[in-house]
Amino acid sequence: MGNDLFDKQRANIQKVTQSISVGDLENKTGKPFNDATDATIGKWPTVFNIEKSHPIQKIEIHYRDTAIDGLFVTYRLLDAGKGKGGSSNAVRHGSKSGQSKDTIVFGESEVLLAVTGRAGTNSNDEIGIFEMTFVKVDTETGEVTQKKYGGDDTAPVFYATGPVIGFAGIQDNSDNVTQLGLKALSFLSSPTPIDQSGL
């Protein structure tokens, strides 16, 4: 008889892609991160421990009128004890002291359909992530909702389609970094419809 957790994880590892990064790609002060390969979250390539059918439980966004300073992401994990609904600790990517913060909560049937925004160099020669719009869909009702943060319209546009199931990039989580701690972002996605076997 097989190991149930291993069987879930083996089915879960298929068809995951990663986008190119946007933002401050030459940053020397931040550290690279990848939630898929993090030993406490995704555990890739040994397994893929983020639950692909409903991967994200919530995202806390720290932002200002013109920039995104940090993201705190809580994932649903396969090895969190109960399978569906088990969650990770919030994973910090960047500054926690933006002017404002908001939390997007994902229900059991909701996924992050796409992320759009602006990143790179703006008209003030600042480099970072300046705007993000999160688009989520309820896979049972088809209802689509979106919310925008930041708002500098001078940096280049980016978009990532999904479902988006995780994040990678460059972060500076130092306590003395109060702005633009999220230096660069890349998006992990599962680009095809996901069924119960994870395919």
pLDDT tens string 27-68: 888 999 999 999 888 888 888 888 888 899 999 999 999 999
Query: Which residue has better confidence, 4 or 182?
Result: 182
Asked whether the beta carbons of 101 and 137 are under 8 A apart, the reply is: no
In whole angstroms, give the CA distance from residue 156 to residue 173. Answer: 25
Question: Region 82-97: what's the mean pLDDT?
Answer: 74
Task: Please count the other Cβ atoms lying within 10 Å of the Cβ belonging to residue 32.
Answer: 14
3-class SS string, 75-86: EEECCCCCCCCC
Which residue ranges make up each domain of the chain?
A: 4-107+162-189
Whether pLDDT at 81 is above 70: no
Tell me which DSSP letter residue 123 carries: T
Instruction: Tell which residue, 163, 155, 103, 177, has the closest CA to residue 135.
Output: 163
User: Would you state the pLDDT for residue 16?
Assistant: 81
- pLDDT (tens digit, 9 = 90+) per residue, 2-33? 555 555 555 555 578 899 999 999 988 899 99
- Position 179 scores a pLDDT of 84
Residue 150 has pLDDT above 50, yes or no: yes
The model's confidence at residue 97, banded by pLDDT at 50, 70 and 90, is confident
Question: What mean pLDDT value characterizes the chain?
Answer: 85
Report the pLDDT averaged over residues 125-147.
95
Q: What is the dotted CATH code of the domain comprising 4-107+162-189?
A: 2.100.10
pLDDT score for 83: 42
pLDDT of residue 176: 82
Res 149: pLDDT = 97
Q: Stretch 164-186: mean pLDDT, rounded?
A: 91
